[in-house]
């Protein structure tokens, strides 16, 4: 599977992001779609979409994009939520879900800070794709894409767009 990962679009899904994500099989979104149902529908019309609702999202999104999501992809267990914290600083809800599901990949958004690292305490890959939207304090808008095959995440690429 070739995966595109976004977060914190806050109502924006610009051409540059579409171009970067055009070869992926599926897009995962770590919350704060923005724009009510419109932005989520725009992304879902572009590529198959898995996502979670964020703290700035219209509550109607929760029917299709729950607070958290757990699934398996090509032999890896994936846990995604919007507000999770970061290695060594997970919030209580994230920590509880991590202990319950024991993911291989933990994805969250919210901070607008791009970070990919191994959490040696829990033994998973932590991914925060940063923010693809223009709302917030970040100076660069970001997205990721990577491959997952036979239980391995590889060939991760970062897309940067000046704000």
Residue 163: pLDDT band by 50, 70, 90 thresholds?
confident
- H or E element: which one contains 38? helix 37-46
Long-range contacts of 118-125 (CB under 8 A, 24+ apart): 119/87, 121/87, 121/88, 122/98, 124/98, 125/153
pTM (predicted TM-score) = 0.97
- Taking the C-alpha atoms of residue 50 and residue 73, their distance in angstroms, rounded to an integer, is 12
Residue 35: pLDDT band by 50, 70, 90 thresholds?
confident
CB 30 within 8 A of CB 82: yes
pLDDT digits (tens, 9 = 90+) for 133-159: 998 888 999 999 999 999 999 999 999
DSSP state of 75: T
């Amino acid at each position: 599977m070739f995966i595109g990962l976004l977060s914190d679009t806050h109502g924006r899904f610009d051409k540059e992001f579409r171009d970067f994500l055009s070869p992926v099989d599926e897009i995962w979104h770590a919350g704060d779609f923005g724009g009510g149902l419109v932005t989520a529908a725009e992304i879902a019309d572009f590529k198959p979409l898995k996502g979670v609702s964020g703290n700035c999202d219209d509550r109607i999104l929760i029917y299709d994009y729950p607070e958290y999501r757990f699934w398996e992809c090509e032999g890896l267990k994936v846990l995604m939520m919007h507000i999770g914290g970061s290695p060594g600083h997970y919030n209580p809800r994230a920590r509880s879900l991590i202990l319950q599901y024991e993911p291989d990949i933990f994805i969250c958004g919210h901070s607008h800070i791009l970070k990919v690292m191994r959490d040696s305490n829990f033994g998973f890959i932590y991914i925060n794709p940063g923010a693809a939207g223009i709302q917030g304090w970040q100076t660069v808008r970001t997205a990721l894409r990577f491959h997952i095959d036979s239980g391995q995440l590889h060939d991760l690429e970062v897309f940067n767009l000046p704000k």
